[in-house]
């Protein structure tokens, strides 16, 4: 399947946690961490045989504590350990991830067509994050005070790789419920990989994401807990894990791209329940169901939880009741939308305001029209297609390009970068703003 929506810059550490961390002098940390590289043993999961000829291709690069990407190539598939912990952890992790996707899901690399996987380590100075930027997987070394190396837990690598898989399949927009699903799917296959390398059945897994990412002094078991969202950490400096695990507690917010890291606990918990109910290993059991839903035609880029849940039930076969029950336990009723109401079949009504912001001058312009008195059926037709039939685009605008926002009474605002405007949105904005200027 061709990619539907470009994936945004997706990071492993949620923004509220990053804001709480104020480490010591960055230069001093950098020198200290440079000296520590290679000083400790690899974790057990990273002791892996080198890839045999014909295995999926990957290359690990070293950014040298800069932000220049991709960095210097230091190890590729089939080559021996380098002695650099981050490099060798990344090599073992990407090998294990590609093997899981190939052996258990029949997928060849993130694009399904054998693309070379580019991995970069030692990114930035004491950088507390990992991300997929649409081209490569990037990992920081951590600050040495709160965070360890981001290559240390194997599931961090699988999480970021899965963001690339999502980009090439459903293309879930990184905002609100589809964004939370994007984060959750990444956690799902991260946990599947962790359990796979440990040889565990779903019922044996601890369901922790990022276990070992925090330094021992931090009061935390992991970054997230799929089995018990909201319990992974409770530390005086970091605060308490704010994830939720049920629709009753769903968080409406404009922060964190609409709470993508907060509300992902809901579908995370649904998967954990489904995996245990289906039985066997997480990847072969519920993991296969989630993957088949992801690559099918029933999960659009703007899918809400109920839409994704229905897609998983539809491909679950004999396990359909178990999967449906898992979603119901977190408050998601299959087939019942949990976000915006259905698009009305009648004519749009009320006031429409069009706002254009940004651009080289950084100005904001807006104009509005009363659809009830406008008497223009063509305008109403454009509103039906451009606003009622559309959703906010999570992709950021290009430099010095505009962002257009359409506000219609009784409906969620639709925000679209200039480069992604549909023909109807472009025409509607032109008409409303031009009428205001005249």
- Whether residue 261 lies in the annotated active site: yes
- Residue of 89, 148, 160, 183 with catalytic role: 160
Structure tokens at 224: 């997230």
- Residue of 61, 110, 261, 411 with catalytic role: 261
CB 72 within 8 A of CB 62: yes
Distances (CA, A) of 228 to 157, 196, 330: 22, 21, 11
Q: Indicate the burial class of 216 (C-beta count within 10 angstroms; 0-12, 13-18, 19 or more).
A: exposed
CB atoms within 10 A of CB 54: 8
CB 377 within 8 A of CB 371: no
- Whether residue 89 lies in the annotated active site: no
CA–CA separation, 159 and 375 (whole Å): 52
State the catalytic residues: 160, 261
């Amino acid at each position: 399947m061709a990619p539907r929506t470009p994936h945004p810059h997706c990071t492993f550490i949620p923004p509220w946690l990053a804001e709480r961390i104020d480490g010591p002098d960055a230069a001093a940390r950098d020198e200290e961490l440079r000296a520590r590289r290679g000083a400790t043993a690899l974790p057990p999961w990273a002791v892996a045989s080198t890839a045999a000829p014909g295995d999926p291709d990957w290359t690990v690069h070293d950014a040298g504590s800069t932000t220049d990407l991709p960095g210097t190539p230091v190890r590729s598939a089939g080559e021996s350990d380098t002695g650099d912990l981050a490099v060798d952890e990344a090599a073992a992790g990407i090998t294990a991830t590609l093997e899981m996707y190939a052996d258990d899901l029949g997928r060849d690399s993130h694009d399904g067509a054998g693309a070379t996987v580019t991995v970069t380590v030692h990114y930035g100075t004491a950088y507390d994050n990992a991300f997929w930027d649409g081209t490569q997987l990037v990992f920081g070394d951590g600050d040495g005070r709160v965070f360890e190396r981001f290559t240390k837990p194997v599931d961090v690598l699988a999480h970021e790789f899965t963001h690339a898989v999502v980009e090439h399949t459903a293309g879930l927009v990184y905002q609100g419920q589809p964004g939370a699903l994007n984060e959750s799917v990444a956690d799902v296959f991260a946990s599947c990989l962790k359990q796979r390398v440990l040889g565990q059945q779903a019922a044996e897994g601890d369901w922790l994401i990022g276990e070992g990412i925090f330094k021992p002094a931090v009061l935390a078991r992991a970054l997230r807990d799929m089995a018990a969202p909201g319990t992974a950490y409770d530390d005086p400096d970091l605060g308490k894990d704010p994830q939720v695990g049920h629709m009753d507690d769903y968080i409406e917010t404009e922060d964190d791209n609409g709470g993508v890291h907060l509300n992902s606990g809901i579908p995370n918990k649904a998967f954990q329940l489904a995996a245990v109910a289906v039985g066997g290993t997480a990847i072969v059991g519920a993991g296969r169901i989630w993957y088949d839903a992801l690559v099918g035609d029933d999960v659009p880029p703007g899918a809400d939880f109920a839409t994704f849940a229905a897609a998983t039930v539809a491909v679950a076969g004999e396990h359909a009741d178990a999967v449906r029950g898992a979603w119901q336990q977190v408050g998601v009723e299959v087939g019942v939308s949990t976000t915006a109401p259905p698009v009305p079949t009648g004519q749009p009504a009320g006031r429409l305001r069009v706002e254009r912001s940004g651009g080289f001058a950084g100005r904001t312009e807006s104009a509005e029209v009363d659809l009830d008195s406008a008497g223009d059926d063509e305008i109403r037709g454009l509103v039906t297609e451009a606003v009622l039939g559309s959703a906010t685009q999570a992709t950021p605008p290009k430099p010095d390009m505009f962002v257009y926002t359409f506000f219609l009474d009784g409906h969620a605002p639709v925000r679209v970068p200039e480069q992604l405007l549909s023909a109807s949105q472009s025409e509607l904005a032109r008409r409303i703003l031009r009428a205001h200027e005249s």
